[in-house]
Structure 1
Amino acid sequence: MPGAQDAIALLTADHREVSDMFEQFENLSDRAKATKAKLTEKICNALIAHTTIEEEIFYPAVREAVKDEDMVDEAVVEHASAKDLIQQLQEMNPDDDLYDAKVKVLSEQIEHHVKEEEEEMFEKARKSGLDMIQLGQEMAQRKQEILATL
């Protein structure tokens, strides 16, 4: 399929997009409450879509192909921790105590998670012989479905 993106390219692009949004948040002034709220919503929605396609499609494929249960299990636990913070942020507004701190901690958790995925999991997944184009197509389609519901 022309223009098809492989799974790792798709996930890496998501990583960069979210990283950029966290950086934008970091550069906002304390008075930019409405902008913070909109940006946090975008970050949370992007992370929900991303973690869902990883957990539903990418991680099961990697788990089967790579045979590294611990690596995938750790990634799932990191997702659970991030989802907890996402849920808290979705119930808050930028005037609330700890709002900025929770965004910062989420950013740091995601940065750690991304580093491990890109330096360890993606390399092992590529070497495993998985069809990254097919996985990428499935993931891109599922991502669009999820984003349409958010």
Structure 2
Amino acid sequence: MLQHRPLAEIGGGDLGWLKAKHHFAIGGHGNPAHVAVGNLFVLNDDEIAPKAGFPQHPHADIEIISYVRDGVLTHEDSIGNKGHTQAGDVQVMSAGTGIRHSEYNEQDVPTRMFQIWLRPRTGGGEPRWDTRAFPKTDRSGSFVALASGYGAPDALP
């Protein structure tokens, strides 16, 4: 069950280049009282400093959705994808059987984003990545599916 949690109860960390709030505990980070909800096991509120980011690292059997709130996030991976996701837009990565990727803020201002990790319903599959710009005016004041594992119209799969 989803619960409202005061900001003071949400664990986090400050690595200098990364300020993170972990809404669920994972790998020694976050409040240990906050456990995963079904397949949803990461919901982070991250701020990446200018000219900093995550160097290339591996993932397998995970679905990662990033919603960029401010700035630009640059992604590059081992299957040849490279792209930029701007504020208000979304990127998705299905790690499938395995992928290595990096995420950087190449800009001169902080990048702020929400990152969501889900366990897939079935493991394996081909790794993939995509990003999409979403019209800001069309979704103002309403809920819009930006990414979906259920074929929602216009959502990233």
Q: TM class, shorter-chain normalised?
A: under 0.3
The structure richer in strand per residue is 2
Structure 2 length normalisation: TM-score?
Answer: 0.24
The structure richer in helix per residue is 1
